Amino acid sequence: MNGQYVPHGVASVHVEDRGYQFADGVYEVIPVIAGRQVDAIGHRERLARSLRELQIDPPMTDRALGLVISEVIRRNRVRTGHVYLQITRGVAPRDHAFPVEAEPAIVVYANSKAAGGIGKQADEGVRVITAPDQRWARCDIKTVALLPNCLAKQTAREAGAHEAFMYDSDGFITEGSSTNAWIVDAEGRLVTRPVSHEILNGITRLSLMALVAEAGIEVVERPFTVEELLGAREVFLTSASALATPVIQVDDRIIGNGRPGSVTSRLVEIFRAYVASDNVDAAAGRTV
């Protein structure tokens, strides 16, 4: 926290931290699998972009941040889990306008947890529901202003589903509450919404594109409707915590035969090989 390593139980945030009062901050989550960070460079690149978009100065260099992340993982003895990074504009007297003197505040912590995307959900698939997208107009910035996402996720959980795929006013799927949404069309191509201010350009999304290009699988970036989602050959989602996870039911519609399809199952295996390889930064250097 702000240059010091402190026990989780005593870490605290000032009441006038702008992240607390205005959601004036950004964050990233980096998976750790078998002691290695997955797509760490891509996540740090996107963090830098989010800071630029909000005109927040980085509290340290990228190299220093990389060292801090590694040290937090080491001190917490995390082999499989994730690292959470949050940077806010800092502490200042409450005012909607940006303060002149505030120094950015940074928090980095690491938790151990079961690896997503390589376990039971990847093998058996999950259920999602559809819900209206109620978020703001700059979803491309990974801010801590996540209340609409939380409402969508809660709606999914109350319906017994894993995730909510959100749709815009024209009936096109944008993304999940914490994931990117994909379908497989009749020709076996992967289809996902193109990057714009309306979605977050997922780092796992970028890694998938790089990995499937090597495997000769075609990706088509275009909007698709709720109706196309419900009638898709296969459906899956991607995220840092889930990697590539098959979707076997959307709302009340069973996808395919209710089991992970052949294309999605291949993607799961591609990701499993990727996270076990020496190169776990496929997204590095791609546009975020």
Active site amino acids:
142
- The region, left, alpha or beta by phi > 0 then psi within -120 to 50, assigned to residue 61 is beta
| CA 153 vs CA 22, 82, 96, 190: distances in Å | 22, 20, 29, 24
Positive or negative torsion for Cα 265, 267, 268, 269: positive
> Which residues share a beta bridge with 229?
none
Distance CA 52, CA 56 (A): 6
Distance CA 112, CA 81 (A): 4
Distance CA 244, CA 251 (A): 20
CB contact at 8 A, 193 and 172: yes
- SS3 at position 283: coil
Query: Which uninterrupted H or E stretch holds 235?
Result: strand 234-239
Distance CA 238, CA 38 (A): 14
- How is residue 176 annotated by DSSP? E
- Exposure of 153 in the CB half-sphere (CA atoms within 13 A): 8
From 204, 193, 200, select the one nearest 226 (Cα to Cα).
193
Distance CA 140, CA 198 (A): 6
Map tokens 């998976």 to a residue.
31
